[in-house]
């Protein structure tokens, strides 16, 4: 029997991606941005598709189907209905969106056929299927989860109509329960506050989450009184007088600005206590919505497991609150929860719901640790390094980890490039920058001298899975860095009375625990548990570091600078290493010491390559 290949695609909004299933198994997946070096690239994912096909050693002609993650005609209907509902006010945004719809999106099927023909040796294309947007989100999390049966909650900005939806996943079926439709959206509420606090919509939301612990929830009552009508069961409606996204080209109206005492903060201007308090307030409201929805879903169905997806499911603080509340026995979150994961979900929809294949549950989950992108051999890396004129030493796996553990313990920052690239927004030890969490200077050094980003941004701990409960208040796995938990009291450093009086960013330099580099100002940490089954190399390094220092934890952040997509190739990694103040670079079995390299001319114009997020 020949193999069946299904290709899922997400494109034309943000975070274009491709995912290949081989006989129902997740075989390869990648975001287009990694290849084009344009963050959140929304173009047709030609490079990501080509990678998936090359990985399987097949051509477009051998695909059974291509599945798109959206129903464009239904989305177009929403645009028209929204325009009519807000006419004549919505005229500007209607005219702004029409050219691309009339040129590309309305005739998406023929656009996809044309693009696929360009990749085909015989200039043909397979049958194209379309899934619904939230159906793709639901499929992307449930069908790879370790559960036979589960509640599925999808929360994002908007798909065709749905912004929030609930499903029951059972075996190879997804049954919709209910949905909340546009314009009422918790994702767009969060984006409105992202815009108002001076960050970029669709990429700066995680900054608002990181900023929240510096603030006080001063505006929660205002939000619940004027903007959000939140019911006991978690369902909600927004007061659209405060929002401009349905009819205009911005997120908020003058009425919103008046309510919160002034116009939106200008991008890159100084952050004040007000922005921190706004961030804390919208974060707490979002957590409350998600907790109420989770509680009512459990009460209505009695099902003990929860799967989460959609861009709002990347809010790892809210995820941690749901887990800690003990509403469900187990929670699984799709690591590519945003639109990129729609490519995976669309392919899974076709496999299980369209083709009716039976489903076998994998007790770990079926994401292979999310290591689904390209890998590079030692031979190809050596060729690249020689071309670049780099100085390096080569090691066996054992000697590499021993040497690297020492390098890290001495306070060095290391670019770490191993195995397959991660799918989703988080670096999980494949394309990471790592350091010693016990080092008090590590957070500011990594933020300001390596990532070139805002000083307030927290970093995540990567911890040996079996030792996570020795440091953090969490009993479950968190392999995808999507759950925030508190550092245990025994590791904390309590603040003095003087320190308690500090406000906002002033709190940043006060060490909060014996692992100051990964402990946020509220004693929380965004945890990645590292497992020998999915990442034996990273697991081995953590084990060696633990043996040397008695600490089974490393700082882990994504291998990139601010505004740049995570590195993809050895060349990307070397360029990032040389342009920043990173001390060492590890590419598979090679170690590069910055001191041994020929210095490049210090020219900051390269920062203009990447649009700030």
**pLDDT given for residue 108 in this prediction:** 86
Can you tell me the distance from the alpha carbon of 276 to that of 236, in angstroms, rounded to the nearest whole number? 25
- Give the phi and the psi of residue 579 in degrees, each rounded to 5: -85, -15
pLDDT tens-digit readout, 202-233:
889 999 999 999 999 999 999 999 999 999 99
Torsion of CA 486, 491, 497, 503, to 10 degrees: -40
Sequence-ordered strand ranges (E) for 138-219: 149-155, 162-170, 173-181
Q: Tens digits of per-residue pLDDT, 301-320?
A: 999 999 999 999 999 999 99
49 pLDDT band, cuts 50/70/90, is very high
Say what angle helices 273-301 and 316-325 make with each other, to 10 degrees. 40
Give the pLDDT band (50/70/90) at residue 87.
Answer: low
Assess whether pLDDT exceeds 90 at residue 418: yes
The C-alpha atoms of residue 172 and residue 139 are separated, in whole angstroms, by 10
Does pLDDT of 178 surpass 90?
Answer: yes
Q: Enumerate residues 6+ apart whose C-beta is below 8 A from 412.
A: 435, 583, 584
Summarised one tens digit per residue, pLDDT across range 524-540 is 999 999 999 999 999 99
Structure tokens at 167: 């499903």
Task: Give the single-character DSSP code of 422.
Answer: B
d(CA 264, CA 245): 15
Give the per-residue pLDDT at 613: 67
Mean of pLDDT values over 585-613: 82
H helical segments located in 241-272: 254-259
pLDDT at position 101 over 70? no
Question: Which pair of tokens denotes residue 558?
Answer: 């994504």
Give the number of other CB atoms < 10 A from CB of residue 102.
Answer: 11
Q: Determine the pLDDT at residue 603.
A: 58
Whether residue 521 has pLDDT greater than 80:
yes
Mean pLDDT over 310-338 rounds to 97
Q: Closest by alpha carbon to 484, among 212, 194, 199, 144? A: 212
Q: In 3D, which of 269, 268, 304, 310 has the Cα closest to residue 290?
A: 310
- Name 504's Cβ contacts closer than 8 Å, sequence gap at least 6: 214, 215, 271, 272, 273, 276
Half-sphere exposure of 318 (CA within 13 A, CB side): 30
- Inter-CA distances, 69 with 160, 201, 322, Å: 10, 21, 28
411 neighbors 405 (Cβ within 8 angstroms):
no
The chain-wide mean pLDDT, for the chain, equals 93
Q: Average pLDDT of 507-518?
A: 87
- pLDDT for position 89: 67
Tens digits of residue pLDDT in 460-475:
999 999 999 999 999 9
pLDDT at residue 441 in the model = 87
Residue 76 has pLDDT above 80, yes or no: no
CA-to-CA distance for 519 and 459, rounded, in angstroms? 8
Element (H, E) at 577: helix 570-579
Calculate mean pLDDT across residues 347-362.
Answer: 96
SS in 3 state form for 375-399? CCCHHHHHHHHHHHCCCCEECCHHH
Average pLDDT of span 267-294: 96
Question: Which tokens go with 97?
Answer: 């969106």
Most confident of 314-323, 505-514, 600-609: 314-323
Mean pLDDT of 180-202: 94
Residue 14: per-residue pLDDT? 85
Question: pLDDT tens for residues 118-166?
Answer: 999 999 989 999 999 999 999 999 999 999 999 999 999 988 889 999 9
In the predicted structure, residue 394 carries a pLDDT above the cut 90: yes
* Domains, the chain, with CATH or none: 5-138+339-356 (3.30.420.40), 179-333 (3.30.420.40), 378-609 (3.90.870.20)
Phi, psi for 15 (deg, rounded to 5):
60, 55
User: Would you say 121 and 63 are in contact if contact means Cβ atoms under 8 Å apart?
Assistant: no
Quick one: pLDDT band at residue 83, thresholds 50, 70, 90?
low
Q: Treating both helix axes as pointing N-terminal to C-terminal, what angle do 108-119 and 46-56 enclose, rounded to 10 degrees?
A: 50
Strands (DSSP E) found in 407-509:
414-417, 431-435, 460-464, 483-486
Distances (CA, A) of 347 to 20, 22, 106, 132, 155: 7, 10, 22, 12, 20
Q: What is the rounded distance in angstroms from the CA atom of residue 231 to the CA atom of residue 238?
A: 12
How far, in Å, CA of 491 to CA of 384, rounded? 43
Give pLDDT, residue 489: 96
**Interatomic CA distance for residues 6 and 594, integer angstroms:** 44
Query: Is the confidence at residue 606, as pLDDT, over 60?
Result: no
How many Å apart are CA 434 and CA 405, to the nearest integer? 11
Look up residue 243 and give its DSSP letter.
B
More confident residue, 89 or 16: 16
Number of neighbours of residue 595 by Cβ within 10 angstroms: 9
Q: What is the pTM of this model?
A: 0.94
Which stretches of 473-533 are assigned E, i.e. beta strand? 483-486, 524-530
């Amino acid at each position: 029997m020949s193999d069946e290949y299904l290709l899922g695609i997400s494109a034309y909004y943000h975070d274009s991606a491709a995912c290949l299933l081989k006989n129902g198994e997740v075989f390869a997946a990648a975001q287009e941005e990694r290849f084009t070096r344009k963050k959140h690239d929304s173009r047709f994912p030609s490079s990501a598709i080509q990678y998936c096909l090359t990985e399987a050693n097949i051509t477009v002609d051998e695909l059974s189907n291509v599945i798109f993650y959206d129903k464009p005609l239904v989305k177009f209907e929403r645009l028209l209905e929204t325009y009519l509902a807000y006419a004549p006010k919505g005229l500007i945004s209607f005219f702004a969106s029409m050219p691309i719809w009339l040129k590309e999106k309305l005739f998406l099927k023929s656009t996809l056929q044309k693009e696929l023909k360009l990749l085909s040796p015989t200039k043909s294309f397979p049958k194209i299927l379309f899934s619904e947007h939230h159906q793709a989100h639901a499929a992307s999390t449930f069908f790879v989860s370790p559960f036979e049966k589960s509640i599925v909650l999808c929360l994002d900005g908007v798909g065709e109509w749905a912004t929030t939806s609930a499903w029951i996943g059972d075996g190879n079926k997804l049954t919709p329960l209910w949905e909340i439709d546009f314009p009422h959206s918790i994702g767009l509420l969060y984006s409105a506050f992202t815009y108002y606090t001076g960050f970029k919509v669709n990429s700066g939301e995680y900054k608002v989450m990181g900023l929240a612990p510096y603030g006080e929830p001063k505006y929660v009552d205002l939000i619940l009184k004027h903007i959000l009508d939140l019911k006991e069961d978690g369902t909600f409606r927004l007061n659209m007088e405060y929002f401009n996204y349905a009819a205009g080209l911005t997120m908020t109206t003058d009425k919103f600005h008046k309510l919160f005492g002034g116009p939106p903060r200008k991008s890159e201007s100084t952050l004040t206590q007000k922005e921190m308090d706004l961030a804390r307030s919208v974060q707490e409201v979002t957590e409350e919505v998600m907790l109420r929805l989770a509680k009512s879903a459990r009460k209505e169905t009695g099902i003990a497991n929860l799967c989460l997806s959609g861009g709002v499911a990347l809010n790892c603080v809210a995820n941690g609150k749901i887990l800690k509340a003990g509403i469900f026995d187990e929670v699984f979150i799709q690591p590519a929860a945003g639109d990129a994961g729609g490519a995976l979900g669309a392919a899974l929809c076709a496999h299980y719901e369209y083709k009716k294949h039976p489903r076998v549950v994998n007790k770990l989950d079926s994401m292979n640790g999310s290591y689904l992108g390209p890998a590079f051999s030692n031979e190809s890396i050596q060729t690249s390094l020689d071309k670049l004129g780099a100085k390096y030493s080569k090691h066996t796996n054992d000697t590499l980890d021993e040497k690297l553990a020492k390098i890290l313990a001495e306070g060095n920052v290391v670019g770490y490039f191993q195995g397959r690239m991660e799918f989703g927004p988080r670096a999980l030890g494949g394309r990471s920058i790592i350091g010693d969490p016990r080092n008090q200077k590590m957070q500011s050094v990594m933020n300001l001298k390596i990532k070139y980003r805002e000083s307030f941004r927290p970093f995540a701990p990567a911890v040996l899975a079996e030792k996570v409960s020795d440091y953090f208040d969490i009993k479950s796995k968190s392999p995808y860095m999507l759950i925030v938990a508190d550092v245990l009291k025994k590791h904390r450093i309590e603040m003095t009375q003087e320190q308690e009086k500090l406000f906002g960013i002033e709190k940043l330099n006060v060490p909060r625990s014996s692992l100051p580099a990964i402990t946020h100002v509220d004693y929380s940490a965004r945890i990645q548990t590292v497992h020998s089954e999915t990442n034996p190399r990273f697991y081995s390094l953590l084990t060696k570091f633990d043996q040397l220092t008695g600490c089974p934890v490393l700082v882990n952040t994504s291998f990139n600078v601010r505004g740049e997509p995570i590195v993809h190739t050895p060349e990307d990694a070397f360029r990032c290493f040389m342009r920043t103040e990173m001390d060492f670079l590890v590419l598979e079995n090679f170690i590069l010491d910055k001191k041994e390299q020929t210095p490049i001319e210090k020219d900051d114009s390269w920062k203009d390559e990447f649009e700030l997020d």
